[in-house]
Amino acid sequence: MKAPVQVYEPFRAGLPPLGRYWKSLWQRRTFISQFSKSELREQHFDSVFGQLWLVLNPLLLSGVYFLLVVIIGGRSDTTRYAHLTASLFLFYLVSHSLTGGVKSVTAGQKLILNTAFPRIMLPISATIIAIFKFIPTLFVFLIIRIIVGLPFGWQMLWAIPVFLITALFALGLSIAIACVNVYFRDVASFLPYFNRTMLYLSPILYEASSLKPKLRLMQYVNPLFPILDSWSRAVVHAQAPSMHKLLAGLIWAVAIFVIGTYFFLSREREFAVRL
Amino acid sequence: MRNVGLIYKTAIDRRPTLKARLNSFGGGGKQVRTIHALNDINLDIDYGQVLGVIGANGAGKSTLMRVIAGILPPTQGRVEVYGSVSTLLALGVGFNPAMTGRQNVYLGGLAAGLSQEQIEENFEEIADFSELGEAIDSPMRSYSSGMYARLAFSVAATVKPDILIVDEALSTGDAKFKEKSFNRLKELRGQDRALILVSHAMLTLREVCNDVVWLHKGKLIQRGEPGAVIDAYQEFLHVGKSAAVDEDL
The reply to whether A62 falls in a domain is yes
Asked if the structure places residue A7 within a domain, the reply is no
Residue B90 forms contact with A (CB below 8 Å): yes
Q: Does A187 touch chain B (CB under 8 A)?
A: no
Domain residue limits at A132:
53-274
What ipTM did this prediction achieve?
Answer: 0.81
Domain count, chain A: 1
CATH 3.40.50.150 is right for the domain spanning B46-84+161-249: no
**Is residue A144 in a domain?**
yes
* Chain A contact probe: residue of B7, B21, B72, B159 with most A CBs at under 10 A: B72
**Chain A residues closer than 8 Å to B118 by CB:** none
SS3 letters for A93-162? HHHHHHHHHHCCCCCCHHHHHHCCCCCCHHHHHHHHHHHHHHHHHHHHHHHHHHHHCCCCCHHHHHHHHH
The percent of residues above 90 in pLDDT, for chain B, comes to 42
The nearest alpha carbon in chain A to B68 belongs to: A8
Instruction: Look at residue B243 and tell me whether its pLDDT is greater than 60.
Output: no
Q: Helix, strand, coil proportions of chain B in percent (round to 5)?
A: 40, 25, 35
Beta strand B163-167 with B85-88 is: parallel
Whether residue B29 has pLDDT greater than 90: no
Q: What percent of chain B has pLDDT over 70?
A: 87
Are A111 and A274 in contact by the 8 Å Cβ rule? The answer is: no
DSSP result, B195-225: EEEE-S-HHHHHHH-SEEEEEETTEEEEEE-
Give the least confident one: A123-132, A154-163, A214-223, B205-214. Answer: A214-223
Highest mean pLDDT among A211-220, A222-231, B167-176, B232-241: A222-231
Asked if pLDDT for residue A176 goes beyond 80, the answer is: yes
Rounded to the nearest 10 degrees, what angle do helices A121-148 and A29-43 cross at? 60
More confident residue, A248 or A80: A248
What's the pTM value of the predicted model, to 2 decimals? 0.87
Domain ranges of chain B: 46-84+161-249, 90-159
Sorted by sequence, the CB contacts under 8 Å of residue A163 that are 6+ apart come out as: A90, A231
A254 in a domain, yes or no? yes
Average pLDDT of span A130-154: 93
How confident is the model at residue A250, as a pLDDT? 97
In the prediction, which pLDDT does B249 show?
A: 37
Please report whether residue A124 resides in a domain: yes
The answer, yes or no, to whether residue A11 has pLDDT greater than 50, is yes
CB-nearest to A115 from B111, B116, B192 is B111
Partner A, chain B 106-135, Cβ-Cβ below 8 Å? 106-107, 110-113, 115-116
Q: Summarize pLDDT for B98-144 with one digit per residue, the tens.
A: 899 999 999 999 988 888 999 999 999 999 988 899 999 999 989 98
Task: Report the percent of chain A where pLDDT is more than 70.
Answer: 98
| pLDDT of res. A138 | 93
The mean pLDDT of chain A is 90
Identify whether A205 is part of a domain.
Answer: yes
Q: Which of B64, B67, B71 is most worth mutating to test chain A (most A CB atoms within 10 A of its CB)?
A: B71
